[in-house]
Each structure stands twice: as structure tokens, then as C-alpha cells.
A and B are shown apart, each in its own frame.
Chain A
Amino acid sequence: MSDTTPNPVVDERIKAEPLISRLMKRPELGAIAGVVLVTAFFLITADSAMFTTAGIINFLTPAAQLGILAIGAAMLMIGGEFDLSIGSMVAFAGLFFGICVMVWGFPLIVAIPLTFVFAAFVGAINGMIVIRSGLPSFIVTLAFLFILRGLSLVGLKWASGGSTQLRGVRDATENDWLAPFFSGDAFPGLFAWLAEKGLVETFKNGTPKVSGMPVEILWFVVLALVATYILLRTPAGNWIFAAGGDSNAASNSGVPVNRIKISLFMVTACCAALVAIITVIDAGSTDARRGFQKEFEAIIAAVIGGCLLTGGYGSAIGAFFGSIIFGMVVIGLTYTDFDQDWFQVFLGGMLLIAVLFNNAIRKRVTGER
């Protein structure tokens, strides 16, 4: 029998697929289309200042802070779990970092890794409880949303002697050599050079209006690239999709599902810690309301980016663009004549459209009819 020779016959039942429909199957397509739409909307309605270098950086900064969380949340969602405690985790990690710097007086080289280890530990606890108990992560992390927020309040009062704010972080970290990696602007030289060449807007005295790229934007871009690489080009990425798609089938095929899920909880918590460190150094203080409701915004950004609530499908690039949409809407409305409170309406609307769209996409991909 000639069953080992390749059979070049093309199956006549399969139609050649047009480029559009192939593109339609990319999870991040919706988010990219959303960015185009939102950009068009603001190009028409907003003040032209929004799309100058200063304006763009203005909306990319909150987008980046959210995006770092959203990328973590997206990876976890692809892995089939939720973490509602990331917002509270920002406050809690901020508190821990503040205590490291202010109470224990550690330099950043010690304080920052310690904060990440601490966050990873809390994430691991979250993950362990979810895995061991078999409860939905929604309910377990909802508990941690309150536990961590409450602990942040209590801890802050203890560390600051009664206040819910811990000040003076800026003074303590100002001269630390590691601080520029986590706060302020990067590439001032590049921006000065661009100003000289007249490629970016300058003040009258010739200094650029934007002195550099805020570091969180760089972290945001780097994280999006690393996460995408892991998801699409490593065995671990395949395991994440598999664990989220069907954890039973995955573990039958030898995927270490529990290890993957716990690691994802740890990564998400570390993303929250990164946001905490950046914002605490930037603001010079930490307070208990930091990261308030960020868990929802991060999940919304991930969903706009194409993640399915049921897991197993999504992309980090999608979450990247989802966060940019978010930043554009939050900041963009201030450039328009609209009442800023439309923001929430817009957000809910975007989420609804994204979910409907994702559902349709999933049916396309899986060929459900």
C-alpha cells in the first residue's frame, strides 16, 4: 500500500480562504479595529493637541500603567483563570515596597526584588487555593480583593502611624541608581536631538515639550513583546493555551496544568507589583486606594483584546491595544467638548461590543454553527 507517500490531492470541499477571513481569525483583530475606530473618532471630535507628541504620551502613560496589568490578566485568562485581586495587589505591593524603603531603609536593589518575591508569594497563595479547592478563581480572588485592600489599609496605618498614606518615598529613592529604570523619562537625549532637528514640538527656547519617554511605556511595550513571544513561540505558551482550553484534556496529554496556572497567578501578581513600584516611586508616596478597580479595567482591556472569558483563546498584543483604547478614551474625552463622565458609558459599551464580537470570532474559529 502506498500509504506513506504524500498525497498531493487537494480536498475539493475546502474553499481557498480569502485573506480577510484569515485575518478575522486573529484574536487581536478586534482590538486593532477598535484602536482605528477610536482614533478616527478623536481625530474628528478632539482638539488637535491630542495627537501631538505630548498628547500621545499623555494618553499612553495611563494606558501603559493599565496595560502592564492587562497583559498579566490576559495571560491568566488565556490560562483559564481570573484574578480579581490585582487592583488590591497594586496597593498591597505598594505598601510592602513603601515599608521596604521607608521603614526598613533598604536600597532599591534590595527593595524591588523583595517586592516581586513578596507579590509572587501572594499570587502563589491565590493560585494554590484555586487549584487545591477546585473553586472558581472568580470567587477566591474576590475574597482576596477585600483581604488585600483591607491589609493595605491596616498596614499603612501601622507603618505611617495612623495615616493611610506613606510619604517620602521620592526623597528616599531620588539618588538611587536603580530609580531611573522605574520612574521618570527615558531617552532624554534622543528627544533633545529630535527637538534640535525639529522633529518634535519644542518650547520657544528650543527645549522639547516632551523631555522623554515615560519608562512605564517602555515596560509596557517590552512586556507585551515578551508575553507574545512566550504565548506563541514557547512550549510554555502552548501549555497556557491548553490549560485554558480544556485543563482535563491538557493534563491527560502531559501538560503540567497546575504548575502553569499557579505560575500565571504569580506572574499576574508580579505585574501588579511592577505597576505599584513605578507609581509609588513616581508619586513619591503610597496609599491604600492605589489600583482601585484596576482589576476590572484590566480584565476589560484583556477582553477588548480578544480574550475569551472561558479561557484558551486570546493574545497579549490584543491586551496591549485594548489598554491603548482605554487610555485614549480616558484622556481623549478631556480634549473634546463631551462631558467626561461619558467615559464609563463608553467603557461599558466597548466591553459589550467586544464580548459579542469575540463570541462570533470563537464560533468562526471552532467552526461551530
Chain B
Amino acid sequence: MTEDSKFHHGDSDNNAAPIVQMKDIEKHFGNIIALAGVSFDIRPGECHCLLGDNGAGKSTFIKTMSGVHQPTHGEILFEGKPMSFATPRDSMEAGIATVFQDLAMIPLMSVSRNFFMGREPTKGKGLTKRFDIDTANEITMSEMRKMGINLRGPDQAVGTLSGGERQTVAIARAVYFGAKVLILDEPTSALGVRQTSNVLATIDKVRSQGVGVVFISHNVRHALAVGDRFTVLNRGKTLGTAKRGEITPEELQDLMAGGQELAQLEGSLGGTI
């Protein structure tokens, strides 16, 4: 039993079968080897952090997981069965939702219209089949309340929300539409302190609903606040996976940077990173 922190409540089930298993994934772009054998898995109800510096292959890896890229070598198992995702749509339908940094949100449109974009609830039949706006508004308000955000109204434009709130809308949307695995691509990288803590709290809530969260970050402190397991990528390879409580921030930071230069850097910066 590890200690609960502000953003981490209760351990995940270590014996649960993984939802997605990626074995020895390699991805080559022409003569560039972006991924050279990465293994990763995600269980229900855990937050598995994928850490790595810029260029480590994080983006390529999650794009492989979400069906944007096909792996050159390696195997993807989804709920135990081999699976190949030809398009992002395939993986979405299987239950892997990706919240990219640009969020797929339209600032001029209201929160509820964004929430149901492309998947509008309808009522009526034939010619009278219409967008059930009341249901959409109701669901949006209640889903957002569950995530701890009180909207002014469902017709509030997404543009008026803060960056953290927008992340939360995107996450709530993915979860509402049945995501089993939620991939978050650097959700905290552009956020302020308070907004970051909102997003981390959201991740914790999603996790406790039994969704597997893949949290991509290069910020060790954010990762340690919510993560159950930590996998570090460096130069297209996994450097290993550590469990919560088994690794210190310093060790994690060292792994990410490849260990060498950071020692010198840290000295000159006085331990500020």
C-alpha cells in the first residue's frame, strides 16, 4: 500500500489483466528508427505515466497506440487479442480515446455542442429527427459537475474556459463515450499551477472509475503526483518501468535525461529542475 497523496487515492489492482499490451514495438520512418523496441501495458484503473524528453519517441508511440501509425515490428494486444488499428477511428471504437494537445474543441461553439460533436443525441424519427439539445445540455452539465467544474451554463462557449477546464471537457467527453483507455498527450504542459492541479485531480477521478490512463509528460513532478507506474522512454527505447513508491523524482529525472548531462546541469541551476 502506497501512501495517498493529494492526487492519488488508492492503489490500482496489480493483478488485473491489461487492457492494452504493446510488445516490442518498433517504428521506422524510412531510415529513421523512431521506436526501437518499446513494451508497455495499461491496466484498468491505473495511471501509467510515459515519460521522456523531447524526441524520445513519446508522440510516435502514442500515435501507434491510437492507430495513426502502424508499427513496423511488434505486437499490439487489446484485451488479450492481437489487434491492428488501421485508422484512429478503429482504436476509438475499440475504446482507446486520445486527448491530443490541440484537444479537438471548437472555441466558438458551446460546451455541450462540443461535448457531443459528431455524436449528437437525437430524438424523433424521419423528418422530425432532431438534435436533442435538452438531453445534451443536461448530460454535459452533470458530467462536468462530476469532474468538479461548474459551468455558467451548457451554452457557455468553450473559448471562455481556461486551458485546464478545456482539458477537463475533453477528458470528460472521452470518458462519457466509453473510453477504456485514455491517452493524454502532455495535458499539463501549457497550464498554470492551479489549472495543472485541476487536470491532475481529473485524472485521479477518471482512474478511480476504472479507466486506464496513459499520461504522457516530461514533467516528473506531475507524473509522480498521479501515476501508479512510470515508464521512461529514451532514444526510442524503454529504459524500464517502475512502480509508485519504488522510485524517487531524482532517479526518474536522471533516467529521462539519460543520466549524463543532467548532473552537471543541476549543479549550475541550483536544483531548480
4 extra interface residue pairs, beta carbon distance < 8 Å, beyond A6-B146, A238-B131, A254-B119 = A3-B205, A229-B130, A245-B106, A367-B159
A255 touches B117 (CB 8 A): yes
Say if the beta carbon of A241 comes within 8 Å of chain B. Answer: yes
A249 touches B160 (CB 8 A): no
Please choose the segment from B25-33, B97-105, B261-269 that sits at the chain A interface, where 4 or more of its residues have CB less than 8 A away.
B97-105
Say if the beta carbon of A186 comes within 8 Å of chain B. Answer: no
B106 touches A312 (CB 8 A): yes
Interface residues of B in 112-163 (CB under 8 A from A): 113, 116-120, 122, 129-131, 133, 142, 145-146, 148, 150, 152, 157, 159-161
Cross-interface CB contact of A10 among B89, B103, B150, B159, cutoff 8 Å: B150
Cross-interface CB contact of A235 among B88, B100, B108, B131, cutoff 8 Å: B131
Quote the shortest CB–CB distance from A157 to chain B (angstroms). Answer: 43
Residues of B within 8 A of A366 (CB): 107-108, 157, 159-160
B160 touches A250 (CB 8 A): no
B104 touches A253 (CB 8 A): yes
**Interface size classification for chain B:** 35 or more
Residues of A within 8 A of B208 (CB): 1, 3
A6 touches B108 (CB 8 A): no
Cross-interface CB contact of B105 among A249, A362, A365, cutoff 8 Å: A249
Quote the shortest CB–CB distance from A321 to chain B (angstroms). Answer: 21
Smallest Cβ-Cβ distance to B148: which chain A residue: A7
Say if the beta carbon of A234 comes within 8 Å of chain B. Answer: yes
Say if the beta carbon of B62 comes within 8 Å of chain A. Answer: no
Say if the beta carbon of B109 comes within 8 Å of chain A. Answer: yes
B152 touches A242 (CB 8 A): no
Residues of A within 8 A of B106 (CB): 241-242, 245-246, 249-250, 312
A234 and B89 alpha carbons, distance in the complex (Å):
23
Q: Decide yes or no: A234 and B109 within 8 Å by CB, A7-B148, A253-B118, A366-B160 being known contacts.
A: no
What are 7 pairs between A and B in contact, CB < 8 Å? A10-B150, A238-B117, A242-B109, A242-B113, A249-B102, A252-B104, A366-B107
A11 touches B150 (CB 8 A): yes
B107 touches A245 (CB 8 A): yes
A3 touches B146 (CB 8 A): yes
A31 and B146 alpha carbons, distance in the complex (Å):
39
A49 and B58 alpha carbons, distance in the complex (Å):
73
Residues of B within 8 A of A9 (CB): 150
Quote the shortest CB–CB distance from B105 to chain A (angstroms). Answer: 6
Smallest Cβ-Cβ distance to B173: which chain A residue: A253
Say if the beta carbon of B9 comes within 8 Å of chain A. Answer: yes
Quote the shortest CB–CB distance from A99 to chain B (angstroms). Answer: 33
Residues of A within 8 A of B131 (CB): 232-235, 237-238
A238 touches B113 (CB 8 A): yes
A7 and B149 alpha carbons, distance in the complex (Å):
9
Smallest Cβ-Cβ distance to A235: which chain B residue: B120
Say if the beta carbon of A339 comes within 8 Å of chain B. Answer: no
A362 and B142 alpha carbons, distance in the complex (Å):
27
A365 and B109 alpha carbons, distance in the complex (Å):
9
Chain A interface residue count, Cβ-Cβ cutoff 8 angstroms: 37
B157 touches A249 (CB 8 A): no
Most B CB contacts (10 A, CB to CB) among A232, A238, A313 go to A238
Say if the beta carbon of A239 comes within 8 Å of chain B. Answer: yes
Q: Decide yes or no: A233 and B130 within 8 Å by CB, A241-B106, A254-B119, A313-B108 being known contacts.
A: yes
| Proximity bits, B184-217, A CB within 8 Å = 1, else 0 | 0000000000000000000001001000000000
| Proximity bits, A17-52, B CB within 8 Å = 1, else 0 | 100000000000000000000000000000000000
A241 touches B109 (CB 8 A): yes
Residues of A within 8 A of B118 (CB): 239, 242, 250, 253-255
Smallest Cβ-Cβ distance to A254: which chain B residue: B118
Residues of A within 8 A of B88 (CB): 252
Interface residues of A in 1-16 (CB under 8 A from B): 1, 3-4, 6-7, 9-11, 14
List the 10 closest A-B pairs by CB distance, nearest first: A366-B159, A367-B160, A254-B118, A245-B106, A235-B120, A253-B118, A249-B104, A252-B104, A255-B118, A11-B150
A250 and B161 alpha carbons, distance in the complex (Å):
19
A104 and B122 alpha carbons, distance in the complex (Å):
45
Interface residues of A in 310-347 (CB under 8 A from B): 312-313
Q: Decide yes or no: A7 and B113 within 8 Å by CB, A235-B122, A246-B106, A249-B105 being known contacts.
A: no
Most A CB contacts (10 A, CB to CB) among B89, B104, B148 go to B104
Smallest Cβ-Cβ distance to A237: which chain B residue: B131
Quote the shortest CB–CB distance from B186 to chain A (angstroms). Answer: 17
Smallest Cβ-Cβ distance to B119: which chain A residue: A254
Residues of B within 8 A of A7 (CB): 145, 148, 150
Cross-interface CB contact of B157 among A4, A235, A246, A365, cutoff 8 Å: A365
Cross-interface CB contact of A14 among B102, B104, B109, B152, cutoff 8 Å: B152
A362 and B107 alpha carbons, distance in the complex (Å):
10
A242 and B133 alpha carbons, distance in the complex (Å):
16
Q: Decide yes or no: A367 and B142 within 8 Å by CB, A7-B150, A238-B113, A254-B119 being known contacts.
A: no
Residues of A within 8 A of B120 (CB): 235, 238
Residues of B within 8 A of A232 (CB): 131, 133
Residues of B within 8 A of A14 (CB): 150, 152
A241 touches B105 (CB 8 A): no
A312 touches B160 (CB 8 A): no
Residues of B within 8 A of A245 (CB): 106-109
A255 and B119 alpha carbons, distance in the complex (Å):
8
A362 touches B117 (CB 8 A): no
| Proximity bits, A248-284, B CB within 8 Å = 1, else 0 | 1110111100000000000000000000000000000
